[in-house]
Structure 1
Amino acid sequence: MKPSVPELAPLTPGARRVLDAASTLFYEKGIHAVGVDTIADAAGVTKKTLYDRFGSKETLVVAYLQHRDARWRDHVAEQLARVPEPGVERILAIFDAAESWSDDNSSKGCSAINARAEIGDGHDGHPVFPEVSRQKVWLLDLFDELCRDASVSKPRAMAEALMLLYEGAIVTLGMETFANPFPAARRVAKTLLEQAR
C-alpha cells in the first residue's frame, strides 16, 4: 500500500522559486509575519510573478502546505515499504517516519498545526483550515487502515488513540518540552497495540 498523495499541478521555474522561498519563510517565521514582498525578494522574482503564478498569498500558503504534505506522504510510503507485512511494526513505522522526518523538517513542529494556529477558528472561509484538516484526517485514516490490516480490535478507536499520541509527540517536539518525543510515543503505542491483538 502506498499512501495516496494529492495530485499537484506542475510548477514553472519561477513558481518553484516562489514556493521554495515561501515554504522556508512561512515555516521559519510564520505565515502572518511574512509578506509577499519578502517572498518575492527571497525568490528573486517580482510581486507580479508571484501573483501571476499563485493569485494570492492564501493560495500560496495552501500550496506550501500541500507540497510539504506530499513530501511527508512520500516519506511515510518509504518507511512503510520497509515493513510490508501487516502488524504492529508496520503501524509503528508511522512513528519511525515521524522521527526521521523531524530531524530535517520539523524543528518548529508541525506546519499544519502551526498554520492552523495562525488562522483563527477555521469558520471564516479561509482556505488553510480545510487543507490542514484534510491532512490530519488522512493520517487518522491511515492509522485506521493499518490497524484493520493488523487485525487490531476496535481499529478506529485505536487509530484515534494513536493519532493522539502522534499529535502529542509533534507538539512536544515543536515546544521542546522534552527530547525525543516520537520514541516515547512509539513505546506507548506499542504497548497499546500489543494489548489490543
Structure 2
Amino acid sequence: MTSSDSLDEIAGSGLSARERLLAAATALFYNDGIHSVGVDRIITVAGVTRATMYKQFGGKEELVLAYLEGEDAGIRALFDDAAASAAASGAAPEELLELVIGGIQQDIAHRHTRGCPFINAAAEYPDAGPVRDLIARHREWFRETLRALADAAGLRDPGEVAGALVLLRDAALVGGYLDGRDRVAPVFGDTARAVIAGHVDRERSTA
C-alpha cells in the first residue's frame, strides 16, 4: 500500500510528467478505487497541469488502461525473475514452479495488500469494453503460463493445476485484504504446494 507520505513525494520525484501521472494513478486507483479518484486529484499528486494530463493520456480511461498494463507487467516480471533465477541455478522445471509459488506468496504478503487490482477493476467495470478486454487478456496469459509451467514440470492435468492455482491466488488476494496477509499468504503457499503434490505423475517421477 502506498502511504500518504509517498504520495506527497511523487510530484518532486524527478520522474517525467507521464511517469508521475502513472505513479499517482497507480497508487490512488489501487488504494482508493478507480471511480472514486478524479482527474483533479491525480494531477495534484503528480504535480502537473490538466493540459499535460490530457496530452500524455488523452483521458481517464487511457490512464486506467496504462495503470492495469503496469500491473500486468509487474506480474509478468515476477515470472521472468523466477525464470532467470532458475536458469542461473540450473533448477529443474518443478523448482521453477516452486519459485513462482514463492513469488506469488510474497506478492500477496507485501505488494498487493488490498486485493487483486484486476478483480477490483473488474468490479468497477462490469460491462464489456477496453478495460474488461485487458483484464481478460491478463488472466488468460496468467492461466496459460501456469499451465505451461505445470506441463514442463511433468504434472498430471496441467490445465487443472493452472485453474486451481489461479483460483487460489484470487482467493488469497481477497482474503489477505479481509483477514490479514500474515494469516493468508502462508496458507496460499501450503495449499498451492499441496495441489502440485497431488498432481505429480508418480510413474514419471520414479522412472
Distance 1:174 1:133, change over 3 A: farther
CA deviation map 1:24-82 (0-9, x unaligned): 11111110110101111111111111111101101100101111221222133213333
- TM-score w.r.t. length of structure 1: 0.84
Counterpart AA for 1:196: H
TM-align CA RMSD: 1.9
Residue 42 of structure 1 pairs with residue 48 of structure 2: no
Instruction: Please state how far the C-alpha of 1:180 moved relative to its aligned partner.
Output: 3.4
Please tell me whether the aligned partners of residues 172 and 185 of structure 2 are also in contact (alpha carbons under 8 angstroms).
yes
Aligned to 1:83: 86
Residue 150 of structure 1 pairs with residue 156 of structure 2: no
Q: Secondary structure at the match of 1:82?
A: helix
Q: Structure 2 residue aligned with 1:53, among 45, 56, 59?
A: 56
Please tell me whether the aligned partners of residues 101 and 189 of structure 2 are also in contact (alpha carbons under 8 angstroms).
yes
Instruction: Please state how far the C-alpha of 1:115 moved relative to its aligned partner.
Output: 0.8
Q: Tell me, which stretches of 5 or more residues in structure 2 are unaligned?
A: 1-14, 201-207
Q: Structure 2 residue aligned with 1:175, among 148, 170, 178?
A: 178
Residue 195 of structure 1 pairs with residue 204 of structure 2: no
- Aligned counterparts of 1:162 and 1:101: Cα–Cα separation in 2: 14
Distance 1:33 1:21, change over 3 A: same
- Aligned counterparts of 2:194 and 2:157: Cα–Cα separation in 1: 15
Q: Secondary structure at the match of 1:109?
A: coil
Q: Tell me, which stretches of 5 or more residues in structure 1 are unaligned?
A: 1-11
Aligned to 1:184: 187
Distance 1:60 1:88, change over 3 A: same
Q: Structure 2 residue aligned with 1:70, among 62, 70, 73?
A: 73
User: Max radius of gyration: which structure?
Assistant: 2
Runs of 4+ aligned residues of structure 1 deviating over 3 Å after TM superposition are 83-89, 177-180
Going by fraction, where is helix more abundant, 1 or 2? 2
Identity of aligned residues (%): 32
Report how many aligned residue pairs link the two structures: 183
Aligned to 2:30: 27
Aligned to 1:8: none
Aligned to 1:133: 136
Residue 105 of structure 1 pairs with residue 111 of structure 2: yes
User: Which shows bigger deviation, 72-81 or 137-146?
Assistant: 72-81
Please tell me whether the aligned partners of residues 147 and 158 of structure 2 are also in contact (alpha carbons under 8 angstroms).
yes
CA deviation map 1:110-133 (0-9, x unaligned): 11111111112x32x2x2111111
